[in-house]
Amino acid sequence: MKRFIILMVAGILGAVYLSAQTGAGRGNTMYVAVKTVELKDSTGFFGRTVAVMNLGDAVTVLRVNGKWMEVRSAGDPNLSGWIAAANLSSKRVTSSGRSVSGGELALAGKGFSAEIETQYRQGERLDYTAIDRMESQNVPPRELLQFLNEGQLSSGE
């Protein structure tokens, strides 16, 4: 009986694992789930940018390599490259059709939940000046790589 229960649990876990993998499998269609994402010529942050893809763009998965997926654009079959898997979704991400201001988009990016939005609308103005200042800083990838190399730091993935 104990063996039967262990086999059942293992079978269920295996089925869950396989169903989770099917959305990201080779040949499947995925969609860009972020406002913009760089399509790279190789895995990793420092890969050369081939193109920029936009929210909702469809891609076909060619290969999965850890946290990265090699994809081909559905809109331009000649365009392929690597995107971090976290930037893709098996479901098409669309806007609600309602026009969204830059300020609203920025607030959503700062983690506004329904509860925080309610506080915000009640006049409890939250100050995101420091976050805005941090987000406005831009370090070119070449300078970042030079910093990592000079400091003998790992360049990550």
Contact predicate 32/57, CB 8 Å: yes
- Provide mean pLDDT across the span 29-41: 91
Q: What span, in angstroms and rounded, lies between the C-alpha atoms of 108 and 143? A: 29
Considering the chain, what is the average pLDDT of its residues? 77
pLDDT of 131-140, one tens digit each? 778 878 888 8
Contact predicate 59/43, CB 8 Å: no
Q: What span, in angstroms and rounded, lies between the C-alpha atoms of 91 and 33? A: 9
pTM for this entry: 0.58
- The answer, yes or no, to whether residue 151 has pLDDT greater than 80, is yes
- The answer, yes or no, to whether residue 31 has pLDDT greater than 50, is yes
In the DSSP assignment, the letter for residue 67 is: T
- Provide mean pLDDT across the span 74-92: 92
The number of residues in the chain equals: 157
Of the chain, the percentage scoring pLDDT greater than 90 comes to: 31
- The answer, yes or no, to whether residue 47 has pLDDT greater than 60, is yes
Tell me, what's the pLDDT at 20? 43
- The answer, yes or no, to whether residue 15 has pLDDT greater than 50, is no
- Provide mean pLDDT across the span 135-148: 84
